[in-house]
Amino acid sequence: MIKFIVKLHPEIAIKSKSVRKRFTKVLENNIKIMMRRIDEHVKVRNNWDNLTVESHAQEPDVRGQLADALGRIPGIVLFNEVTEVEFTTLDDIYQQAQRLLAHEIAGKSFCVRCKRQGNHDFTSTDVERYVGGGLNQHVEGARVQLSRPEVTVKIEIKDQRAYIVTHAHRGMGGFPLPTQEDVLSLMSGGFDSGVASYQMIRKGARTHFLFFNLGGAAHEIGVKQASHYLWSQYSSTHKVKFITVDFEPVVAEILENIEDSQMGVVLKRMMMRAGSKVAQKLNIPALVTGESIGQVSSQTLANLSVIDRVTDTLILRPLIQYDKQDIIDIARAIGTSEMAEAMPEYCGVISRKPTVKAKLDVIEKQEQNFDFDILDTVVENATVIDVRDIDTAAKEEVKEAESVSQLPAGSVVVDIRSPEEEDANPLELDGVEVIHLPFFRLATKFGDLPQDKEYYLYCAKGVMSQLQALILHENGFKTVKVYRP
């Protein structure tokens, strides 16, 4: 039997009894949804201070699938895979601990930690001493070390059952979905917006996605894929919406009628106006952005203050004090960095000398030259789709970027991974020419290659190669496909 003991996030444990009961019930339901996609007969029990997940599935990969899914459910701070032992004496517990964990502690320092519930004629300390002493005596090279051991043997006892922890896993933490109100996240597909969306999902807010298309089918497809990934990985227990607003007419109006140095702030104010209108239509009380103080010119405190005054809708900025490297590190951890790196940039407006200390009266005077009917029109024409439909729609939109697993004779594979990835795991194919051209050089270097050959782009997951193939198609290079071994 596969069994996990799921621990609540500490902030759930300190809630009032009624709130804690509601949160744990929501978490229980979310775990059931995720687990039953893997094993329809799985059992989930709510034990007030923890939850248990049990599966009798025999397939060898089920354990890993269940653990992976539990690690992506908001509200779980950690979960332990355990072996359940019925005992009558402390020696029963020791014998099972030795059988299960001797290979883990051999040649290492260790300690035993026990948590106990119920009436027993021994204490938790008695368990730690007895099991620890036995392991120290009978496992070759193992030695007890109470301070900073290499391995901690964890045992939980409840009445006449002991649970020996064989694997400990970290969870997402945060609150279960959707114990907070809905939010609307402004997605650009870059590092910041993806991480900001993840942070709100982690805090239990059902997060919908809003994309302002500043030009380019590749950008929209990339943002859809990034949004679908975040939803499918971390919040697929609840459906959300993806909204696209065609912002090209707004950008054109800004370029024509707004003074150069003020364009960036005006563009952000227009986005907040439009986002607020969309949020009101969908009855969503807050917007989310990936802005961080001082990261770019529009994100100074003065400019953010002017931007915020354009709407009464609450604007949340979960990354406001994060350094860029912190954001990139989180993106790598949650799996969005590759998509962010491959995302084409559409700046919309580029000021030669953007203001870093916008003045409200100056901005409002500039906006008197703007035709707000254009903004109303693009919001009215916004497209709203179920996030679950993105995967199918994206595949249809990029069907011209054909994927193959078998390479025809005379083909050339272009390895577009970063130099570090390529060095760590070189791509070698018998009888096939492989050239290395990192994705960030494709735009300027691909045109130098002979155009009488077929090229197959390769990357680790296929996301970047599909996106880059579409960009090359848009630029007139039609002999580009994707290699997926």
CA 288 centroid distance within chain: 15
Give the whole-angstrom CA distance, residue 131 versus residue 139. Answer: 12
Q: How many CB atoms lie within 10 A of CB 134?
A: 18
Strands (E), 56-128: 76-86, 109-117
Tally of CB atoms within 10 A around 147 = 6
Which residue, among 109, 85, 108, 110, has the nearest Cα to 95 in the 3D structure?
85
Q: Which of 433, 432, 444, 442 is nearest to 464 (CA)?
A: 442
Alpha carbons 50 and 305: distance in angstroms, whole number: 43
DSSP state, residue 298: G
Token pair of 57 as six digits: 């599935």
Question: Do 39 and 15 meet the contact criterion of CB atoms below 8 Å apart?
Answer: no
Supply the DSSP string of 34-63, one letter for each residue.
Answer: HHHTT-TT-EEEE-SSEEEEEE----TTHH
Round to the nearest angstrom and report the end-to-end CA distance of the chain.
Answer: 35
Helices (H) and strands (E) in the chain, counts: 18, 19
Can you say whether residue 458 is alpha, beta or left, with left for phi > 0 and alpha for psi between -120 and 50 degrees?
A: beta
CB 336 within 8 Å of CB 191 = yes
What DSSP letter does each residue of 158-173 carry, written as one string? ETTEEEEEEEEEE---
| Backbone torsion region of residue 328, taken as left when φ is above 0, otherwise alpha when ψ lies between -120 and 50, otherwise beta | alpha
Sign of CA dihedral 379, 382, 386, 391: negative
CB-based contacts of 274: which residues, under 8 Å, 6+ apart? 212, 245, 247, 250, 375, 378, 379
Q: Give the torsion sign (CA, 342, 346, 352, 353).
A: negative
Exactly one of 111, 114, 347, 459 is catalytic; which is it? 459
- Distance CA(109)–CA(106), nearest Å, equals 8
Give the DSSP per-residue string, 424-448: HS----TTSEEEE--GGGHHHHGGG
| 347 is known as an active-site residue | no
Q: Cite the active site residues.
A: 459
